[in-house]
Amino acid sequence: MGTPHHEPQPAIQPPALPAVAGKPLAVWLIPVLQDNYVMVLQRGRRAAVVDPAVAEPVAAALEERGLALEAILHTHHHSDHIGGTPGLLRRWPGAEVIAAAADRERIPLQTRGVAGGDRLQVLDEPVEVIEVPGHTRAHIAYWLPQSGHLFCGDTLFVGGCGRLFEGTPAQMHASLQRLAALPESTRVWCAHEYTEANLRWAAATAPGDGAIARRLQEVLAERAAGRASVPSSVGLERATNLFVRAADAGALGQLRRSKDHWQA
Ligand SMILES: [Fe+2]
């Protein structure tokens, strides 16, 4: 017995698909250091990472899954967002290094400098660059319009926003409004797990706000179960993030000062 020699052949072969068309883009995260997240974009065995704070756990996670790193994306120059890049390049020397061209001096090793409005392809996925100054002067975000992901570094946090190290309240207000204008289903991948403190502050600042109170309870349950609060969504942040809801730069500045001095 064995396989028949003459299997009936279908009259019409299905068209060959382009190499990547059948493989959807997956996004997942690696928790590192105290509260940083490194995001991984994966298509089949191909990977890109966003804001690698450190190299070792990222390389280990990719290798465990048999992935090849093709690109490293940076949102801004702080060491807990770029610290892992030299180590990852030693392991994958051909990986592209994408970052704000305006920050070339503070983000070395760039192979592709970008600016707001640029469109590029990462793992054959269209990516748009959005300028979001405020936390730093050359902070950028990456929006994937096709799959609905946003990588916003330390600009928009779940329930919060980044500290204003190099920018003004007006800049941060404009940056957050730019991100909040994306489709509401857009998944928001920020670079830190700051959500619980952000929402505790928000609930204390807006004590009558039911949406914030409910969101805080959801997040507390998620965190107690050991799950990340990231990603959020643009719709959720529009509803429950006081910085996104701030009417103008003045209101945002007041909220930022309040949060800077707040202690649980
Ligand atoms: Fe930062």
Contact at 8 Å (CB) between 136 and 155?
A: no
Please give the CATH topology (third level) of the domain spanning 26-261: Metallo-beta-lactamase; Chain A (3.60.15)
> What is the rounded distance in angstroms from the CA atom of residue 28 to the CA atom of residue 183?
20
pLDDT digits (tens, 9 = 90+) for 105-142: 999 999 999 999 999 999 999 999 999 999 999 999 99
Please state, as a whole number, how many other Cβ atoms lie within 10 Å of the Cβ of residue 232.
23
Determine the distance separating the centroid of ligand 1 and the alpha carbon of 225, expressed in angstroms.
Answer: 27
Q: In this prediction, what percent of the chain has a pLDDT beyond 70?
A: 92
Q: What is the pLDDT of residue 13?
A: 52
| 241 contacts: CB under 8 Å, gap ≥ 6 | 156, 158, 159, 160, 161, 202
Alpha helices in the chain (DSSP H): 56-64, 79-82, 85-91, 169-180, 195-205, 210-224, 234-240, 242-245, 249-261
Residue type for position 47: A
Determine the distance separating the centroid of ligand 1 and the alpha carbon of 12, expressed in angstroms.
Answer: 55
pLDDT digits (tens, 9 = 90+) for 169-218: 999 999 999 999 999 999 999 999 999 999 999 999 999 999 999 999 99
DSSP string for 95-159? -EEEEEGGGTTTSTT-SEEE-TT-EEEETTEEEEEEE--SSSTT-EEEEETTTTEEEEETTEETT
Residue type for position 115: A
Q: What is the pLDDT of residue 22?
A: 65
Q: What is the pLDDT of residue 165?
A: 98
Q: What is the pLDDT of residue 1?
A: 42
Encode 54-84: b = buried (16+ Cβ within 10 Å), e = exposed. bbebbbebbeeeebebbbbbbbbbbebbbbb
Contact at 8 Å (CB) between 52 and 60?
A: no
* Ligand 1 (single-atom ion) residues, CB below 5 Å: 78, 154
Mean pLDDT computed over every residue of the chain? 94
Determine the distance separating the centroid of ligand 1 and the alpha carbon of 224, expressed in angstroms.
Answer: 26
The catalytic residues are 76, 78, 80-81, 135, 154, 192
Determine the distance separating the centroid of ligand 1 and the alpha carbon of 191, expressed in angstroms.
Answer: 9
Determine the distance separating the centroid of ligand 1 and the alpha carbon of 135, expressed in angstroms.
Answer: 7
Residue type for position 213: A
Question: Quick check: 41 pLDDT over 70?
Answer: yes
Domain ranges of the chain: 26-261
Under the banding of pLDDT at 50, 70 and 90, the label for residue 23 is confident
Q: What is the pLDDT of residue 17?
A: 44
Among the listed residues 101, 119, 120, the one whose alpha carbon sits nearest the alpha carbon of residue 111: 101
| 166 contacts: CB under 8 Å, gap ≥ 6 | 133, 134, 135, 136, 137
